[in-house]
Chain A
């Protein structure tokens, strides 16, 4: 079974703090993703990476950055947390396929509260 592990399940931070969310997958997947989930808005893509040291902006990258120094690890960074970044953050991974559905495997999520 593919496992995607998010290191922190619950975090509480103050406005202006720097926040690191870590994600590790154990199945040698090339693609990794960070989403945030908000009620009624579904899952929105923040950033994704298709290879080590590669990153691409998703739909809502503002206020976030990412790092992928190793294939199995993908980190999401909030340089200066704000209250509107209070959300559930979901990491996912998948392997590259030329055709077929892009099936993502998700971690359990990190619920971040910014006060």
Chain B
């Protein structure tokens, strides 16, 4: 039973356009949500996080939106660049689960020049 789901295994976007990656979760006790980016043959690297008490967090070209009532979060990348092509994982954690991260299955983003 996957508590964190990324329903789109892949996404293709033109350079300069917006990329929107989506993530759904089932556990209402999660209190932090994170996005990681992974290039081939490298480990995942932390991108951005958001607390459950907020609905938006922005860092440069990356913005994460959280809709608690829908148990949904999304990562927006504007403008998308070819170097953003990678696999993106969303993850969630809750104090009631020892702050362990639960990861989604990942979405492969391809940004075409």
Which A residues between 24 and 39 are near B, CB-CB below 8 angstroms?
Answer: 35
Give the interface residue-count category, chain A. 20 to 34
Shortest distance between the CB of A96 and any CB in chain B (Å): 9
Per the bound structure, the CA–CA distance linking A45 and B89 in Å amounts to 14
- Mark contacts of A99-110 with chain B using CB atoms, 8 A cut-off: 1 yes-contact digit, 0 otherwise: 111111111110
Minimum C-beta distance from B106 to chain A (A): 5
| Interface hub of A44, A97, A100 (most chain B Cβ within 10 A) | A100
- Give which listed residue, B45, B93, B103, contacts A43 with CB less than 8 A: B103
Q: How far is the CA of A42 from the CA of B106 in the complex (A)?
A: 6
B46 CB contacts on chain A under 8 angstroms? 103-105
Knowing A42-B106, A101-B34, A101-B93, the reply to whether A109 touches B100 (Cβ < 8 A) is no
Tell me whether B26 is interfacial, beta carbon within 8 Å: no
List, in ascending order, chain B residues with CB within 8 A of A42's CB.
4, 6, 89, 103-106
Residues 69-113 (chain B) with a chain A CB within 8 angstroms? 89, 91, 93, 95, 99-101, 103-106
B101, A104: Cβ atoms under 8 Å? Answer: yes
In the bound complex, how far is the Cα of B36 from the Cα of A105, in angstroms?
10
Assess whether A4 is in contact with B93, with CB atoms less than 8 Å apart: no
> Chain A, 31-75, contact with B by CB distance < 8 Å: what is the 0/1 string?
000010000111111001000000000100000000000000000
Residue numbers in B under 8 Å from A90 (CB-CB): 43-44
B interface, CB within 8 angstroms of A? 4, 6, 9, 32, 34, 36, 41-46, 49, 51, 89, 91, 93, 95, 99-101, 103-106
- Chain A residues with CB under 8 Å of chain B are 4, 9, 35, 40-45, 48, 58, 90, 92, 97, 99-109
